[in-house]
């Protein structure tokens, strides 16, 4: 007698709904409050208060934290409760004694889960559409925004859910399933950070930031989700996430077929995976330990090694305890010893006998080189907004100078590695493009003062100035406006919009920058007025208006704008100067105190002397004297510094 | 017909079943006896198709049972602690099983529910252990299985219900030729319903016997002589065990009753008695050295 066998078993689905639909309902209400109800709260108020709302970038704008929390928690919760039947011995026995093959069980559970996950999103989407139509919310968002929201939420939910299902197959404990799912989801991003960070500690010059800033967030759906209110999901990531969802699905079935029912209540269901788990945990905690101690102890190498050892031991025993489900695992030393030996060899391998650390490409190999103080180059403007990337240096002489600097930094490895962080430390990032197409990148933290003589010729070269100052890369035609922003009492922001003015100002600034010395670049940066150039949509260029920019100064003076935009001697009633030979930054309160208590204070009221001090004072890091400027207008004073070189003779004479 | 052929099952930390070999005829009730931790439950779950053997094969009517829905549709397994879907009532459980087991008989279900007087709309987990077990039986028998697998099924039932359940089982066996695999740590509990007994100890099947054959084949002989004991005669008997109590010899002898009587009477004994053995005694003597090791599981 042929039996009517339908692929779908209604009772099985009913059972799944009975046991897990509460999660779906929870999800529905969460979304309902976060979106449609929130919208009603915002847009049904008085006309005036509605006016304050702008159109939203996406529907993630509404109660994003709640939406994010739901996306991160609900799919994992659902996967845990769906596959509870695998992790509880008695129900595992019951379900597997039934005449239903595992594939069928699996598909029933996973597909029902997917439906339970998607339905609340769809329902809420319909409600939003209703709200949108009823209250005419087109000025805030459009129907296609609802589509984007539905699609993005579903893609992320499905990936997180399928990861949860995959982990359900691997483990036999529901709690472990939850924790491992999050670890798995964070794994690509977390592991990348951990490995790169540790390489930075182990390899002098390893350009961690250069690698890490590149779309690190997209490596994990969890970190990606946290950015959803700001930036749109990219097509390539959608494809990638759907592909991984599919992959998790397929691997889950394969694993399920191989899984032993008796592995319910085991931390790791597959014997062969247990060593991977054990040493994987050991490795991760080792890296975390190293990172933690290195970070807390100011990048100390010895403490990092200590962190490695402590991290490995903790991780190894925790993993063992989980696997054995017992505290008594401390007699197991052999595995730890073997692990230690292997890691020691890996460490030697990484060090590679100094090959990596000592490598500076030969002059003849180099096509061009970038030298910047930030490894954040060539960022995707869609994701990060506009960021300026300097040009490379191609002149032989400059390449040679960069190589010389690089080689010197390597020669000083011991000194550089031990220097504590201070205000003179800067990042030196090298990116060589070689003739054979290869790229060599290095990143160092170096003390400016040590390498001043090596930086100077590079920074003063015309090629470098043109390559790395954005002012040389902009076109006056594209400038929407340029502001010279005055700083101090009675100063204004003067805007320029006429193309002729813009062209002239830009030309003058370029000329002034080209003759600026390296010392002046540093000495005068950060004081006085600013120049802001707006090129449309998040694209600004900022410059200091330094007293050495004589061309621009004259141009403004000719138009009688100088007094409005910069501090001139006539603004100042007096200047008090004291000697303050401190190498480090000083707290302003200490300075005030010093002036009040000091007997040796030089007070200037002569306009000529005021002018001399004003043009020579900087916000420099190396200072010998502190000058407090008292303004005529208002009860206002400003503090600037003088170094030995810039100090006028009468100042030096006074303190002699 | 169930064939367990050299089946081994290793768990992480120990080998639960070692090269177990049993065969169960269609329509028979096979009792699997063993102490706690002997491997009963593991072997039962292997037969039920829940566990997959590491070595060996288990076939039911010639077909492998693991992940074989065709075979499993004809089987029903009741675990040692009956378990139901969370928060399910008897009625819901019945609907669930009805959708899964094609042989489900609604008529049988209704009769059984009526005869046990079960409130089918009450959630099963609110019933006592004993009631839960009865509900498990009702549901199991309603699927009209060809093979019923029971792990320590009579634990926790009072004498009346126990009798009722046993009767039901026997009824299905006789009416439909249902095959039952039933386990217990107590031989006496199964003595009255099983026709075959297998004893499992430390993962190994020590002995497998048909009960009727056993009972008729083994005897306790008490014999005393005036003078010399006729050793040559004794040697011709298949003696499992001898003991001397004063001048009385006590022997456990295998063989047909008439043959033994004839041989011994020919030697003119002063005293001669031929007595039947209890089932426990039979097993203990049959198994020789192992018998003493597991004596405690028989006489609990």
- Output the six-digit token pair for B222: 């008490």
Which chain B positions have a beta carbon within 8 Å of A97's beta carbon? 48-50, 72, 75-77
* Secondary structure of residue A645 in the 3-state scheme: coil
Reported residue count of chain A is 656
Give the nearest partner residue to A99 out of B12, B73, B81, using CB atoms.
B73
Residue A435's CB is within 10 A of a number of other CB atoms, namely 12
How many angstroms separate the CA of residue A151 from the nearest CA in chain B? 34
Contact between A646 and A622 under an 8 Å Cβ cutoff? The reply is: no
Q: How far apart are CA A257 and CA A607, in angstroms?
A: 91
Q: Is A380 on the interface with B (CB under 8 A)?
A: no
How far from the centroid of its chain's Cα atoms is residue B51's Cα? 20
Nearest CA in chain B to A20: B86
Range B69-74 average pLDDT: 94
Work out the angle between the directed axes of helices B129-142 and B106-116 (0-180°, nearest 10).
150
For position A5, what pLDDT does the model report? 52
Are B87 and A18 in contact (CB < 8 Å)? yes
- Measure CB to CB from residue B72 to each of A15, A92, A98 and give the nearest one: A98
CB contact under 8 A, A18 and B11: no
Chain B interface test: which of A4, A108, A262, A274 (most B C-beta within 10 Å): A262
Contact B75, B50 (CB under 8 A): no
Written as one string, the DSSP assignment of B226-253 is: SS---HHHHHHSEEEEEEEETTEEEEEE
Record the tokens describing residue A451, joined without a space. Answer: 């390498």
Portion 86-105 of A in contact with B at CB < 8 A: 90-94, 96-102
pLDDT reported for residue B63: 93
Give domain limits for chain A. 10-260, 270-350, 363-468, 471-565, 569-655
Chain B partners within 8 Å of A266 (Cβ): 12
Bridge partners for B274 per DSSP: B221
Is B85's CB within 8 Å of A11's CB?
Answer: no
d(CA B83, nearest CA chain A) in Å: 6
Burial class (CB in 10 A: 0-12, 13-18, 19+), B22: buried
CATH 3.30.70 fits B215-298, yes or no: yes
Interchain CB distance below 8 Å, A261 and B77: no
Judged by CB atoms closer than 8 Å, whether chains meet at B77 and A97 is answered as yes
Instruction: Tell me the shortest Cα–Cα distance from B75 to chain A, in angstroms.
Output: 8
CA-closest candidate to residue B241, choices B249, B230, B232, B233: B249
β-strand pairing of B2-10 with B55-60: antiparallel
Tokens describing residue A155: 């893609």
- Given an 8 Å threshold on Cβ–Cβ distance, is B50 in contact with A261? yes
Pairing of strands B29-33, B179-184: parallel
Q: What is the dihedral of CA A276, A280, A283, A289, to 10 degrees?
A: -150
d(CA B80, CA A360): 73
Classify domain B2-202 at the CATH superfamily level. Answer: P-loop containing nucleotide triphosphate hydrolases (3.40.50.300)
Three-state DSSP class for residue B156? coil
Nearest CA in chain A to B42: A262
CA torsion A79-A85-A89-A92 (nearest 10°) is: -130
Which range has the top average pLDDT, A470-479, B46-55, B221-230? B46-55
In this prediction, residue B300 carries a pLDDT of 41
Q: CA-CA distance, A270 to A261, in Å (whole number)?
A: 11
Q: Which of A11, A94, A266 sits opposite B83 (nearest CB)?
A: A94
Q: Distance from A334 to chain B by nearest Cα, in Å?
A: 19
Residues of B with CB under 8 A from a CB of A: 11-12, 45, 48-52, 67, 69-73, 75-77, 79, 81, 83-88, 95-96, 98-102
Query: What span, in angstroms and rounded, lies between the C-alpha atoms of A271 and A262?
Result: 12
Best of B14, B39, B67, B82 to disrupt the A interface (most A CBs within 10 Å) is B67
* Helices assigned H by DSSP within chain B: 40-47, 69-72, 90-100, 106-116, 129-142, 159-176, 187-191, 211-217, 231-236, 257-265, 279-286, 289-293, 295-298
Q: What is the distance between the terminal CA atoms of chain A, rounded to a whole angstrom?
A: 116
A262 touches B: beta carbon within 8 Å: yes
What residues 407-426 of chain A have any CB closer than 8 A to a CB of chain B? none
What CA–CA distance (Å, rounded) separates A444 from A630? 41
Q: How many angstroms separate the CA atoms of A127 and B61, rounded? A: 57
> Could you report the predicted ipTM of this complex, rounded to two decimals?
0.87
Does residue B137 contact residue B157 with C-beta atoms inside 8 Å? no
Cβ A11–B81 below 8 Å, yes or no? no
Chain A CA closest to residue B82: A90
Among A11, A90, A262, whose Cβ lies nearest the Cβ of B99? A11
Terminal CA-to-CA distance of chain B, rounded, Å? Answer: 31
**Three-state DSSP state, B22:** strand
Within 8 A of B98 by CB-CB distance, chain A residues are: 11
Spatial distance between the Cα atoms of A189 and A212, rounded to a whole number of angstroms: 9
- Which DSSP helix (H) or strand (E) runs through B201? strand B196-201
Angle between helices A10-32 and B90-100 in degrees, nearest 10? 120
What is the Cα–Cα distance from A522 to B130, expressed in whole angstroms? 88
Q: Which of residues 241-260 of A touch B (CB under 8 A)?
A: 260
Task: Give CA–CA dist B177/B1, Å, rounded.
Answer: 11
Task: Verify whether the Cβ–Cβ distance B49 to A97 is below 8 Å.
Answer: yes
What residue segments make up the domains of chain B, in order of their start? 2-202, 215-298
| A241, two tokens | 């996430």
> What is the C-alpha separation between B139 and B148, in angstroms, rounded?
12
Find the CB nearest B100 among A92, A100, A102.
A100
DSSP B54: S
Q: Which residues of A touch B94 (CB under 8 A)?
A: none
pLDDT at B11: 87
Looking at residue A83, its pLDDT comes to 96
Whether residue A646 contacts residue A637, with contact meaning beta carbons closer than 8 Å, is answered with: no
Residues in B touching A18 (Cβ below 8 Å): 85, 87
CA A639 to chain centre: 34
Residue with tokens 């590679």: A352
Q: Hey, which bits of A410-539 come out as E strands?
A: 425-434, 439-447, 481-485, 493-496, 529-534
- Residue pair B90/B83 in contact by the 8 Å Cβ criterion: no
- Give A193-237 as a 3 state SS string: HHHHHHHHHHCCCCCHHHHHCCCHHHHCHHHHHHCCCCCCCCHHH
Q: Which residues pair with A530 in a beta bridge?
A: A485, A544
The parts of chain A modelled with pLDDT lower than 70 are 1-6, 214-215, 352-353, 378-385, 581-588, 620-622
* A96/B95 touch (CB, cutoff 8 Å), yes or no: no
Nearest to B67 among A18, A93, A102 (CB): A102
pLDDT of residue A3: 45
- A2 touching chain B per CB within 8 A: no
Residue of A64, A75, A65 lying closest to A24 (CA atoms): A75
**A261 contacts B73? CB cut-off 8 A:** no
Query: In which residue are the tokens 């010389």 written?
Result: A404
Contact yes or no for A106/A7 (Cβ under 8 A): no
CB pairs < 8 Å spanning A and B = 69
From B48, which residue of chain A is nearest by alpha-carbon distance?
A97
Are residues A9 and B99, on separate chains, in Cβ contact within 8 Å?
yes
Identify the DSSP state of B89. Answer: B
Sheet holding A529-534, edge to edge: A493-496, A481-485, A529-534, A540-545
Residue whose pair of structure tokens reads 């029933």 in the numeric block: A108
Q: Which tokens in the block code for residue B235?
A: 């040697």
Contact list, A100 vs chain B (CB under 8 Å): 69, 100
The answer to whether A108 faces chain B, any CB pair under 8 Å, is no
* pLDDT given at position A621: 64
Among B194, B129, B186, B130, residue whose Cα is nearest residue B158: B130
Q: A6 touching B, CB under 8 A?
A: no
DSSP category for residue A97: H
Coil, strand, or helix at residue B218?
Answer: strand
Contact A622, A452 (CB under 8 A): no
SS3 at position B273: strand
């Amino acid at each position: 007698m042929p039996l009517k066998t339908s692929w779908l078993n209604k009772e099985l689905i009913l059972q799944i709904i009975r046991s897990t639909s509460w999660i779906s309902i929870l999800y529905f209400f969460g979304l309902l409050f976060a979106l449609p109800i929130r919208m009603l709260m915002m847009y049904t108020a008085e006309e005036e208060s509605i006016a304050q709302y702008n159109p939203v970038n996406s529907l993630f704008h509404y109660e994003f934290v709640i939406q994010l929390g739901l996306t991160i928690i609900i799919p994992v919760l659902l996967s845990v409760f769906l596959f509870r039947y695998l992790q509880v011995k008695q129900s595992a026995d019951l379900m597997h004694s039934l005449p239903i093959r595992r594939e069928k069980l699996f598909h029933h559970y996973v597909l029902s889960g997917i439906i339970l996950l998607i339905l609340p999103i769809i329902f809420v989407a319909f409600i939003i559409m209703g709200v949108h139509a009823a209250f005419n919310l087109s000025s805030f968002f459009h129907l296609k925004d609802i589509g984007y929201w539905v699609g993005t939420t579903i893609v992320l939910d499905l990936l997180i859910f399928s990861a949860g299902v995959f982990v359900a197959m691997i483990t036999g404990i529901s709690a472990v399933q939850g924790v491992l799912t999050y670890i798995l989801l964070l794994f690509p991003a977390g592991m990348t950070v951990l490995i790169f960070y540790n390489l930075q500690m182990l390899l002098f010059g390893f350009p961690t930031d250069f690698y890490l800033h590149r779309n690190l967030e997209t490596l994990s759906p969890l970190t990606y989700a946290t950015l959803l209110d700001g930036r749109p999901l990219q097509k390539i990531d959608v494809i990638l996430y759907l592909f991984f969802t599919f992959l998790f699905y397929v691997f889950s079935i394969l694993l399920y077929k191989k899984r032993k029912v008796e592995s319910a209540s085991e931390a790791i269901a597959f014997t062969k995976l247990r060593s991977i788990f054990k040493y994987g945990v050991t490795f991760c905690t080792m890296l975390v330990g190293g990172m933690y101690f290195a970070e807390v102890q100011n990048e100390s190498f010895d403490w990092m090694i200590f962190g490695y050892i402590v991290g490995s031991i903790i991780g190894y025993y925790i993993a063992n305890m989980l696997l054995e489900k017992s505290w008594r695992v401390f007699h197991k030393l052999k595995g730890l010893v073997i692990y230690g030996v292997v890691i020691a060899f890996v460490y030697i391998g990484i060090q590679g006998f100094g090959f990596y650390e000592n490598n500076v490409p030969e002059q003849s190999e180099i096509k061009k080189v970038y030298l910047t103080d930030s490894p954040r180059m060539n960022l995707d403007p869609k994701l990060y907004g506009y960021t300026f990337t300097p040009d490379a240096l191609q002149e032989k002489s400059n390449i040679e100078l960069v190589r010389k600097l690089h080689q010197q930094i390597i020669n000083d490895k011991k000194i550089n590695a031990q220097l504590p962080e201070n205000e003179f430390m800067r990042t030196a990032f090298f990116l060589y493009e070689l003739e054979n197409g290869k790229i060599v990148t290095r990143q160092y933290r170096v003390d400016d003062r040590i390498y001043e003589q090596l930086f100077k010729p590079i920074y003063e070269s015309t090629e470098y100035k043109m390559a790395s100052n954005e002012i040389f890369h902009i076109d006056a035609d594209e400038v929407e406006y340029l502001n010279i922003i005055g700083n101090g009492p009675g100063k204004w922001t003067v805007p320029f919009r006429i193309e002729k003015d813009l062209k002239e100002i830009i030309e003058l600034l370029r000329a002034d920058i080209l003759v600026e010395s390296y010392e002046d670049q540093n000495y005068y940066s950060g004081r006085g007025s600013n120049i802001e150039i707006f090129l449309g949509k998040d694209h600004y260029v900022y410059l200091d208006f330094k007293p050495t920019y004589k061309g621009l100064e004259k141009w403004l003076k000719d138009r009688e704008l100088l007094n409005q935009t910069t501090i001139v001697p006539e603004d100042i009633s007096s200047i008090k100067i004291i000697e303050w030979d401190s190498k480090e930054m000083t707290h302003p309160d200490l300075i005030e105190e010093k002036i009040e208590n000091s007997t040796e204070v030089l007070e200037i009221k002569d306009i000529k002397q005021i002018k001399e001090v004003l043009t020579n004072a900087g916000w420099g890091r190396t200072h010998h004297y502190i000058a407090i400027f008292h303004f005529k207008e208002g009860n206002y004073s400003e503090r600037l510094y003088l170094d030995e070189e810039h100090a006028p003779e009468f100042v030096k004479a006074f303190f002699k | 017909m169930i064939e367990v052929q050299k089946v081994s099952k290793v768990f992480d930390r120990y080998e639960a079943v070692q090269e177990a070999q049993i065969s169960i005829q269609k329509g028979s009730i096979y009792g699997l006896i063993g102490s706690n931790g002997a491997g009963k439950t593991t072997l039962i779950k292997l037969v039920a198709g829940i566990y997959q053997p590491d070595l060996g094969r288990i076939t039911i009517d010639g077909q492998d049972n693991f992940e074989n829905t065709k075979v499993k549709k004809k089987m029903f397994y009741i675990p040692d602690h009956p378990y139901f879907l969370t928060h399910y009532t008897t009625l819901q459980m019945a609907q669930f099983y009805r959708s899964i087991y094609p042989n489900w008989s609604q008529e049988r279900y209704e009769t059984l529910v009526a005869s046990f007087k079960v409130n089918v709309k009450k959630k099963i987990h609110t019933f006592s252990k004993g009631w839960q077990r009865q509900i498990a039986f009702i549901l199991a028998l309603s699927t009209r299985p060809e093979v019923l697998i029971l792990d320590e099924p009579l634990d926790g039932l009072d004498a009346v219900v126990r009798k009722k359940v046993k009767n039901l089982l026997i009824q299905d066996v006789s009416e439909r030729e249902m095959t039952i695999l039933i386990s217990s740590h107590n031989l006496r509990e199964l003595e009255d319903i099983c026709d075959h007994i297998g004893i499992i100890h430390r993962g190994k099947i020590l002995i497998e016997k048909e009960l009727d054959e056993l009972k008729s084949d083994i005897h306790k002989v008490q014999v005393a002589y005036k003078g010399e004991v006729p050793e040559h005669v004794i040697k011709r008997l298949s003696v499992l065990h001898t003991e001397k109590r004063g001048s009385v010899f006590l022997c456990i002898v295998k063989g047909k009753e008439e043959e033994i009587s004839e041989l011994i009477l020919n030697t003119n004994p002063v005293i001669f008695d031929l007595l039947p053995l209890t089932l426990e005694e039979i097993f203990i003597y049959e198994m020789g050295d192992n018998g003493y090791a597991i004596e405690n599981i028989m006489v609990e």
